[in-house]
Amino acid sequence: MNKAFRRRVVITGLGAVTPLATGVEESWQKLCQGKSGVARITKFDPSGFKSQIAAEIKDFHPEDFLDKKKIRRTDPFIQYALAAARMAMDDAGLTIDGNNASRVGIVLGSCAGGMTAYEKNLFTLRDEGPEKVSPFFIPAFIANMAAGEISMAFGARGPSKCVVTACATGSNSIGDAFRLIQYDEADAMIAGGSDAYILPVGVAGFDKMRALSRRNSEPAKASRPFDKDRDGFILGEGAGVVILEEMESAIRRGAKIYAELAGYGSNIDGIHITEPDWENQARCLKLALNDAAISPANVDYINAHGTATMLNDVSETKAIKAALGEHSKKVPVSSNKSMLGHLLGAAGVVEAIFTVLTMRDSIIPPTINYETPDPECDLDYVPNIARKAQVNIALSNSFGFGGVNATLVFRKSEEL
């Protein structure tokens, strides 16, 4: 479809369960204060592991959002997604009924699906035999069931997708939902991501790749994006959901509008399962800016993928410089993962939420634990202290295993 005929899309609702708090506003306030959600793992005894720290969900009470039967039958990743969706729907004030159900859809992804249910039932099968495996195991495990449960909870009957693109899952979920509204296949979309992967097998697997930080003696200082002494990312968990709506219908119903989602770019490196390709990442940023018809010189802020791994941070820095040229030296870049850890399938959505709030409040959250500059990472990473700044145009980057890249472009609502 010609760009001139694409429908405009806005964000009207936000919901999140993060290692900082259950709820968007409290998580946001702690993020701006530079609070870390990283601590020693409590979900299991990590004593035998080289990496013993993670960003766990600490104050989540599923009974606040689900009945007891639903809690027993669902994996934590589904519970987090349902809670985030409930918060986002309440925030948007969006009602789904017989008049609009077929025009409201869901795109909600996960890197791993119900790994807690998988691990539990695998051990049950080994120790007690097949008769003891739960009849709810498969619905609790498969990745698309978070979207299914949300549909059942709210009555959405429009398009439905489950995105599984590693660390780019959340941003791809938002981007795919964006396209469905742009091209008139839906009027509103529930878009998000969720993961609960802090399990022995998850920590062991990532650590065996040498992807995780082993700064066990200083958990709060372990996630150090763009710092010369970074030694890996911190595994996190949680969920994020945003409500996207066609702009004119949102205005007609008097919805609160956080920002416009103006552009989306996505591509794949195709060179290595984990090593990034900065040239294709730069192309992804350019695709998103071109989609939004926005000049690189107008970008005010970038919410970085910023994992705190040696290769990724250098690659992202090069990509930003290549995409924005000389303007890259003037653009603040910060990483929420310095405080949240890496939320896997939820990362892109939660970071998009905080990008939108950066625009709303004119506050750029910091990259904490930035102490020793890396000559190869030479941009403005908003070190350690949040910064007041007017942000009208912002990007949010997500780059995943398998070479998957995604960039979202947001425009401040006052600019509509």
Kindly report the CA angle at 309 between 304 and 310, in degrees rounded to 5?
Answer: 110
Closest of 174, 261, 181, 171 to residue 1, by C-alpha: 181
Where is pLDDT greater, at 3 or 227? 227
pLDDT at 416 over 60: no
Set 111, 162, 305, 377: catalytic member: 305
First to last CA, the chain: 22
Across the range 63-80, mean pLDDT stands at: 96
The pLDDT, as a whole number, for residue 99 is: 94
How confident is the model over 315-355, as pLDDT tens digits? 999 999 999 999 999 999 999 999 999 999 999 999 999 99
- Band of the pLDDT at 398, cuts 50, 70, 90? very high
pLDDT at 249 over 60: yes
Neighbours of 128 (CB within 10 A): 10
- Band of the pLDDT at 3, cuts 50, 70, 90? low
- Band of the pLDDT at 61, cuts 50, 70, 90? very high
Decide: 352 and 171 in contact? Cβ < 8 Å.
yes
How confident is the model over 254-284, as pLDDT tens digits? 999 999 999 999 999 877 766 778 999 999 9
Q: Which amino acid is at 148?
A: G
The pLDDT, as a whole number, for residue 269 is: 85
Contacts of 368 (CB under 8 A, 6+ apart): 34, 36, 223, 338, 339, 384
Q: Give 233's Cβ-side CA count (13 Å radius).
A: 24
How confident is the model over 181-217, as pLDDT tens digits? 999 999 999 999 999 999 999 999 999 999 999 999 9
Chain centroid, CA 391 distance in Å: 20
Set 111, 167, 284, 377: catalytic member: 167
Where is pLDDT greater, at 243 or 1? 243
Q: Domain 264-404, what architecture?
A: 3-Layer(aba) Sandwich (3.40)
The pLDDT, as a whole number, for residue 274 is: 65
How confident is the model over 344-382, as pLDDT tens digits? 999 999 999 999 999 999 999 999 999 999 999 999 999
The pLDDT, as a whole number, for residue 312 is: 95
Where are the domain boundaries for CATH 3.40.47.10 in the chain? 9-252, 264-404
pLDDT at 173 over 80: yes
The pLDDT, as a whole number, for residue 276 is: 78
To the query of whether residue 61 is one of the catalytic residues in this protein, the response is: no
How confident is the model over 94-118, as pLDDT tens digits? 999 999 999 999 999 999 999 999 9
Share the mean pLDDT of the chain: 96
9-252: what CATH class? alpha beta
Q: How far apart are CA 367 and CA 197, in angstroms?
A: 24
Helix axes 24-32, 347-361, angle to 10 degrees: 70
The pLDDT, as a whole number, for residue 272 is: 72
Distances (CA, A) of 26 to 16, 19, 33: 10, 11, 11
The pLDDT, as a whole number, for residue 18 is: 98
Percent of the chain topping pLDDT 70: 98
